[in-house]
Amino acid sequence: MFITSPTRQNVNGVGFLLGGSASDDNSIARIEVAISDPIKGVTQGEATLLSSGQWQFAVPDTAITLDQTIIITATAFDLALNSAQTSQSYTVVEDMEPPTISIVSHNDNDDVNETGFTVIGDAFDDTGVVTVSASLSDPLLGTTIEDQAVSVAEDGQWALIVTNGKVSGGQTVLLDLTATDSSDKTQNISIRLVVQTIVPQQQQLISRITFGMTPDLYINQPNANTFMTQQLAPASIDDSEVEAQISAMNIMELGDLRAMQLHYMLYSQRQLNEVMTWFWDNHFNTNYNVHRNVAYELAENQGFRIHALGNFRDLLEVSAKSPAMIYYLNNAENVVGRPNENYSREIMELHTLGVDGGYTADDIANLARIFTGWHEQDGSFFFNDAQHDFDNKTFLGVDINGVGLAEGEQALDILASHPSTARNICRKLITLFVSDIPVSGLQGQCEGQFLASGGNIASVVQVILSSNEFVSLEHQGNKIKTPVEMVLAAIRSVNATPNYPDINDTLADLGYSLFTFPVPTGLAETGPEWISSNALLQRINFANRFALEGQDGASVDLQSLLMAMGYSSADAIVGVLADLTLNGRLTDLERDIATQLLNENIAEGESFNIQSNEASEKLQRLLGTMLSYPAFQYQ
């Protein structure tokens, strides 16, 4: 048996609404309320029972006296006339002042996003703010929000979610807000906001060059250009904490290796470097199940991490000399007199020139002869000159003298600097960062930078991230997340605590197994490969298990996180979760469904209370719902 409102000490002398909750193993028959006033004595009445054990009672002005302390006692009776009682004292005051209202999230003439944004503020009154209403006027669209009620939390926080279609790009809109207290006194505030025609580059950068938004990134979002510059120079970013955690891992089995990779993805401050590390590991795909040696895969992975934003030529050599690759594509069997062409074919078709890169069957055969003797010994690359073909060869029109190891190095030089390699790598990088559909203008810029820089990946990626195509509306939220991007984005968005074996099981169920994909092409980067009716159902099931049950690889304490971040009102919580999980993309219907989940079974005149007993379960349901929205599947 509880009195839940008013939560403030002062109450209005013109009367107020009392609210509470009660429960019983059978059912509540009635609730009697007694108001004890030092001047007017005791006034009694029966409360109105609402759904889910909630109740209300209107305290009239005739039962209370100004400047007096009153005691209210509520007694609940069940059908067997068993009873429970609770009391609360209040001070009756005269409401002399209007409420105060402020906006804390924006200043006048701040930029906002054409596709949606959330305005947050505070409203207070000595006897309690009753309502906050909002109106939004757009020069082209007219009044798109008119006297819309905005919920106010017990701590005074309010939020207005402005969804897509309510404002026009390039225009200055006017937002008017009115707070009204229990005596019908009002206070108004207005703010002008400048609508940008494209999603800020900052939002797009975080979406594409990290494994997902985090609460810390959300609160301390850096300037877009600053963030990009920092991420393109990973050595300048202090990642010592994560490196120390990785060093403490004993990587002996495949599960350990996967845990290491996931830990880097989730927590490294060098997020772009990790995106590129996994890109290269997948581009130069090998399969642990072929050689069953964790050390091979670990050394290769660390080599890609070191050179992830360096020169392509170095990355190519990491792969070519990796024992994991030597065994995966059979170069260990490539010997003089019996060349094995498996690796020579794939290094051109997949790793460098591309399937239409202009090489011939003779080039495949001669490159296999060049790589004879590129073997492994004692866990490392070993040039076995006894098994090398020392005859002269011609490769891609270049005469190569049969001198041994240097032949392979020369072949790598030729492949790394070839225009077809520039075209193939740029096509894949544009797919990674911009669009699954070819972007012809950007493709040419990218190829030019690749060749001019000698294959410097950081400069190539910078061209892509700085391009108009990268930030254009056409390419916002248009890429479907791969399974690993989806799972990690969910974990990062709410600071969930990961369980790496569970995460790997979840990824395997979604068809995405780290380090054991059997096909040399690597795991697909394009959306259609990962979305079908069955795959979508599995993704939604993951979202709900993750949010509601703390399963599928992580445990979530959303209630504590939101309280620490300072969000308490229903609309503010929905708004921040939309930013953390959906890049702010929220329709009116989705917003209404989300806020209704938090406001369910709340009595009239009350608001969602983040500290209540039922708040945690409601927040879990809200997270599962929002992770099931279509926008979460996109980046």
pLDDT at 200: 59
What pTM did the predictor assign?
A: 0.88
pLDDT at 552: 58
Q: Label residue 81 exposed, middle or buried (CB < 10 Å: 0-12, 13-18, 19+).
A: exposed
pLDDT(352) > 90: yes
Q: DSSP class of residue 162? A: E
Lowest model confidence (mean pLDDT) among 21-35, 140-154, 181-195, 320-334: 21-35
| Complete domains list, the chain, with CATH | 2-93 (2.60.40.10), 100-196 (2.60.40.10), 224-236+274-474 (no CATH)
- pLDDT tens-digit readout, 28-81: 889 999 999 999 999 999 999 987 778 899 999 999 999 999 999 999 998 888
Lowest model confidence (mean pLDDT) among 72-81, 190-199, 462-471: 190-199
| SS3 label, residue 495 | coil
Amino acid in position 246: I
pLDDT at 551: 60
Lowest model confidence (mean pLDDT) among 305-319, 371-385, 439-453, 520-534: 520-534
Burial 587-603 (b: 16+ CB within 10 A, else e): eeebbeebbebbeeebb
Q: Would you list the DSSP string of 372-401?
A: TTEEEETTEEEE-GGG---S-EEETTEEE-
Quote the CA–CA distance of 158 and 575 in Å, as a whole number: 11
Residue 173 belongs to what H/E stretch? strand 172-181
Average pLDDT on 283-297 reads 98
Q: How confident is the model at residue 124 (pLDDT cuts 50, 70, 90)?
A: very high
pLDDT higher for 396 or 554?
396
Average pLDDT on 422-442 reads 95
| SS3 label, residue 168 | coil
Which residues neighbour 571 within 8 Å (Cβ) at sequence distance 6 or greater? 118, 150, 151, 158, 159, 160, 161, 595
List the one residue out of 39, 58, 46 whose CA is nearest residue 22: 46
pLDDT(272) > 80: yes
Lowest model confidence (mean pLDDT) among 87-96, 261-270, 561-570: 87-96
pLDDT(480) > 80: yes
pLDDT at 199: 54
pLDDT(533) > 60: yes
Cis, peptide link before residue 6, omega less than 30° from 0: yes
Task: Please state, for a pLDDT cut of 70, what percent of the chain lies above it.
Answer: 98
Lowest model confidence (mean pLDDT) among 257-266, 366-375, 606-615: 606-615
Lowest model confidence (mean pLDDT) among 390-404, 414-428, 602-616: 602-616
pLDDT at 198: 59
pLDDT(121) > 80: yes
pLDDT(178) > 80: yes
Amino acid in position 296: Y
pLDDT at 195: 94
Helices (H), 105-253: 201-209, 215-219, 224-232, 240-247
| Number of neighbouring beta carbons within 10 Å of residue 413 | 14
Quote the CA–CA distance of 355 and 360 in Å, as a whole number: 11
Q: How confident is the model at residue 550 (pLDDT cuts 50, 70, 90)?
A: low
Task: Please state, for a pLDDT cut of 90, what percent of the chain lies above it.
Answer: 81
Average pLDDT on 371-392 reads 98
pLDDT(387) > 60: yes
Quote the CA–CA distance of 182 and 99 in Å, as a whole number: 10
Quote the CA–CA distance of 570 and 160 in Å, as a whole number: 10
List the one residue out of 19, 85, 77 whose CA is nearest residue 48: 19
Quote the CA–CA distance of 398 and 587 in Å, as a whole number: 59
**Average pLDDT of every residue of the chain:** 94
List the one residue out of 284, 278, 234 whose CA is nearest residue 257: 278
Residue 317 belongs to what H/E stretch? helix 312-320
pLDDT higher for 550 or 571?
571
Is 118 in contact with 572 (CB distance < 8 Å)? Answer: yes
Q: Label residue 616 exposed, middle or buried (CB < 10 Å: 0-12, 13-18, 19+).
A: middle
Which residues neighbour 314 within 8 Å (Cβ) at sequence distance 6 or greater? 307
pLDDT at 128: 77
pLDDT(451) > 90: yes
Is 597 in contact with 625 (CB distance < 8 Å)? Answer: yes
